[in-house]
Structure 1
Amino acid sequence: MSCGISMVKYILFIFNLLCSICGILLIVFGGLLFSNIHNIDDLRTQQVPITMIVLGTVILLISWFGCCGAIRESYCMSTTYSILLFVLMIGQLALVIYMWLQKDKYLVIMGDVVEKAWERRTRRADYMDAIQISMECCGRTNFSDYSFQGYFPPSCCKDTNNCRPDTVYRRGCKAAFVEFWDRNSDIIKYAGLVIAAIEFVGFVFACCLANSIRNYRRRADY
């Protein structure tokens, strides 16, 4: 192969390493999100971190597939890789656009999660306790929501064995929960755009490499 195509091959290899790192970061960030909310038994709160972990795993696998195709100079593997990367990029952009357009609606849903947990606390307090422990908050609006019962649940304090008015968490859980998702949704969106841009560059290089491999083999047959 020519020097230019060899350079494309190694550039594609480096891009796939970058995509692999992005995939690992998605898995780590999704895992951190999930660790904060895994005690909250509501699928709506868990679908974002689970999606990030799955997406990161898929990116990691496809990236290693692309690395092998580039190093081995395989037309079949390079073509398959470019198709998979294009499909992944489109799906990822669709997810980012959805989160961008539906952010306010999603934040309302997250607020409703706290409302329902608060309403069900008399029958099943573990939902509200899980939110209070994860978000370090107390009550639906603030800690005064528990004033009617004369004491605070242990989940409202860091020291669960000594929960007093002077040690209780001050902020309410609804505001804390919505703020948590508002902050992290922006990180997810911009990270998704950066990863999609890297994937697009990798897609272009993969197509160039696959086309060059095919032309090289055709000339070698004559």
Structure 2
Amino acid sequence: MGLAATTVKHLLLLLNFVFSVLGLALIAYGIFFLISAAENAVSIGENVAGGLIVGLGVVILIIAIFGFLAAIQEAPLRLLIYVGAVVLLILSQLLFLSMASHGTKDGISGSINEGFERLWESERNESGALGYYEKWLHCCGVNSYEDYWIIHHAIPSSCCEENQCQDTQSRVFKAGCKAEFVKYLDDKLLVFKIVCWLLVIGEAVGAVFGWMLYSSVKNQSRRNNAVWM
């Protein structure tokens, strides 16, 4: 194998080592999401996001280890499988990034909507169900403080600064809790989005290097066979 092919091999090994580390980091970050979701009375989107991040981290780790071994062994078939797996991984990450940015009916946005619907149903039956989120996110109701007027409930103290409404709307949080929670989740997902985009770029480079190494190994095999003939 020539100098250029050796360099490609070493770069591919380095890239897959970096992918392994980032895969482990994503798993840890996803677990952090799941722990946050477990602390909430009603899971609202964080469990879906956490599960997706952990799953993606595991897949990245497995593919990176496979690619590392394929490069060391210079096995053409394994290198070809690695390149195909990386291309599929890139497409999956682009889908996850789309879900994280815009949401889908069955994904993160759907989970948030369903979670707040359950909370509001509980609020209609027993006042205070939204209190945890109202105090934490400085919000009121699902869409706004006017939600309480619709169901003929008094605005709770959890909707007000320092839990004191004092019969004045100036102390009432105007924003709805669903919108504020989406902002909170977007901020937490920002790290995931940045890492994911870096991975997509790195994986595209890794796929090119994998194909180059595969071609080099195949060409070397043909030359060796030609010498023996």
C-alpha contact (below 8 Å) 1:107/1:182 kept by paired residues: no
Match of 2:118 in 1: 116
* Alpha-carbon separation, structure 1, partners of 2:137 and 2:99: 29
Q: Mapping of 1:76-155 within 5 angstroms?
A: 76-100=77-101, 102-103=102-103, 110=112, 113-121=115-123, 128=130, 135=136, 140=141, 148=154
Query: How far off its partner does 1:125 sit?
Result: 8.7
Asked if structure 2 preserves the Cα contact closer than 8 Å seen for 1:23 and 1:59, the reply is: yes
Secondary structure of the 1:96 match is helix
Distance in 2, matches of 1:107 and 1:182, equals 11
1:22 aligns to what? 22
C-alpha change, 1:125 and 1:188, in structure 2 (3 Å) is: farther
| AA matched with 1:15 | L
Q: Distance in 2 between matches of 1:57 and 1:208?
A: 26
- Counterpart CA distance in 2 for 1:84 and 1:40 is 39
Q: 1:139 to 1:113 in 2, by over 3 A?
A: same
Tell whether 2:69 aligns with 1:65: no
Residue 190, structure 1, aligned to residue 194, structure 2: yes
Q: Does 1:213 align with 2:217?
A: yes
CA 127–83 in structure 1, closer or farther in 2 if over 3 Å, else same: farther
Q: Distance in 1 between matches of 2:121 and 2:19?
A: 44
CA distance in 1, matches of 2:79, 2:130: 50
Displacement of 1:207:
0.5
Bigger shift: residues 6-15 or 34-43: 34-43
Query: Normalising by structure 2, what TM-score?
Result: 0.72
Q: Is the 8 A contact 1:8 1:205 kept in 2?
A: yes
Give yes or no for contact 1:13–1:70 (8 Å, CA) kept in 2: yes
Structure 1 stretches lacking a partner, 5+ long: 153-163
Residues 113-144 of structure 1: CA distance to partner in whole angstroms, max 9, x if unpaired?
335313214668997577579x56686368xx
Structure 1 distance, partners of 2:125, 2:116, is: 15
Separation of aligned partners in 2, 1:132 and 1:6: 59
Distance 1:184 1:107 in 2: 15
Going from structure 1 to structure 2, the CA distance change for 1:128 and 1:70 (only over 3 Å counts) comes to same
Report the CA distance shift for 1:107/1:180 in structure 2 as closer, same or farther (over 3 A). farther
Partners of 1:132 and 1:71 in 2: how far apart?
55
Alpha carbons 1:37, 1:131 under 8 Å: kept: no
- Is 1:10 matched with 2:17? no
Supply the AA of the counterpart residue of 1:58.
V
1:172: Cα distance to partner? Answer: 7.1
Q: In the TM superposition, what is the alpha-carbon distance from 1:94 to its structure 2 partner? A: 2.5
Maintained 8 Å contact 2:45/2:109: no
Structure 2 residue 206 is the aligned partner of structure 1 residue 202: yes
Compute the displacement of 1:10 (Å): 0.8
Q: Is the 8 A contact 2:44 2:111 kept in 1?
A: no
Structure 2: gaps spanning 5 or more residues:
165-172
Tell which deviates more after alignment, 208-217 or 50-59: 208-217
Measured on the aligned residues, the alpha-carbon RMSD in Å equals: 3.8
2: CA distance between counterparts of 1:137 and 1:188? Answer: 25
The 1:90/1:126 distance shift into structure 2, 3 A limit, reads farther
